[in-house]
Amino acid sequence: MAAQKDLWDAIVIGAGIQGCFTAYHLAKHRKRVLLLEQFFLPHSRGSSHGQSRIIRKAYVEDFYTQMMHECYQIWAQLEHEAGTQLYRQTGLLLLGMKENQELKTIQANLSRQRVEHQCLSSEELKQRFPNIRLTRGEVGLLDNSGGVLYAYKALRALQDAVRQLGGIVHDGEKVVEINPGLLVKVKTTSRSYQAKSLVITAGPWTNQLLRPLGIELPLQTLRINVCYWRERVPGSYGVSQAFPCFLWLGLYPHHLYGLPAGEYPGLMKVSYHHGNHADPEERDCPTARADIRDVQIVSSFVRDHLPDLKPEPAVMESCMYTNTPDEHFILDRHPKYNNIVIGAGFSGHGFKLAPVVGKILYELSMKLTPSYDLAPFQISRFPSLGKAHL
């Protein structure tokens, strides 16, 4: 048996937002936690970098809206502990045709859960947001709680909080081997560790770690082009003009989203919620011509609907999505090893939900009763992952 000082209550692999919140909850409950990250921090290789993310309660699925109630509380708590602003309320405007089923379901869900919102007719939209051009008589749904999370500041505040609570963060240390057992042994490029439980929150690298453990999840890694567009008149789409975040539904197979100008002065983030298949090891390589198809979609959208932006991207960055077939998360134990917990497949909408995801992964790793119904997030919902994979 390992000497007590060498034994961790939990090791978390991956120091993105999900892994950091998992380590935060473990450390808050006085667990001996080690957070391992393969790259040196901060880095831009995964899904948690960049300056901003949308936060909202507006969801088709009521289980996400329920989780978001607590997420807002934990974000506010972290903001208080860090002594720095991590969230700005701008409202989130959903746009689509009156008969759009997604829009109807979201509105019904917000009403049922008593989330403050407003339904706006085409005329009301034109009056309130004259620099949005409606081409098909779209209507709006405003989620008042929506806004911007300052992603980079939040990640840094969380990593600091983990350390202050007694957690240990080792970056630049890649995991090369996991040996399951009553104690899980983890070997990195630097040394070996053992723990009572292991949590894997490795984003696009999840299956690399899981394959030797006899399981491969149906995860698709995508490279997303994150685009910023220059305002013709600086400030016209800014927070100071009370311009909200937005999601535009029903124009294309995936929605378009935008955040008011802020992180780059005079530039507004507008992107397409989908991208191109990518190997996470090669994401820093030059992109092929086919990779800008989504940028062309956004460019024509900007030209048609946001007339006060120039329709060529001024800045382009990239981000990785790790998608499941249904775009719901995987929050579950390994089917064979119940002290190995997996958080994966956040499908481009996990950042805002990380406070509760981290809490759930902490509960699973400590064999506590989960605070939420995890049926939507179980591995068993993918029938192709039968016992044959183990």
pLDDT at 49: 52
Residue positions counted in the chain: 390
Whether the CB-CB separation of 247 and 255 falls below 8 Å is answered with yes
At residue 311, the pLDDT reads 96
**What is residue 47's predicted lDDT score, i.e. its pLDDT?**
46
Residue 170: count of CB within 10 angstroms of its CB:
16
Return the sign of the alpha-carbon dihedral for residues 53, 58, 61, 65: positive
User: Is 339 within 8 Å of 196 (Cβ atoms)?
Assistant: yes
Q: What is the pLDDT of residue 39?
A: 86
Q: Which domains does the chain have, with CATH numbers?
A: 1-88+149-218+326-389 (3.50.50.60), 92-144+220-323 (3.30.9.10)
Residue 276 is predicted with a pLDDT of: 80
Distance CA 11, CA 197 (A): 7
Half-sphere exposure of 255 toward its Cβ, with a 13 Å CA cutoff?
Answer: 16
pLDDT under 50: residue ranges of the chain? 1-4, 43, 46-48, 283, 285-286, 288-290, 386-390
Ordered alpha helix ranges (H), 306-369 = 354-365
Question: Rounded to a whole number, what is the largest CA-CA distance in the chain?
Answer: 71
Are 344 and 219 in contact by the 8 Å Cβ rule? The answer is yes
Which residue has tokens 């983890």? 186
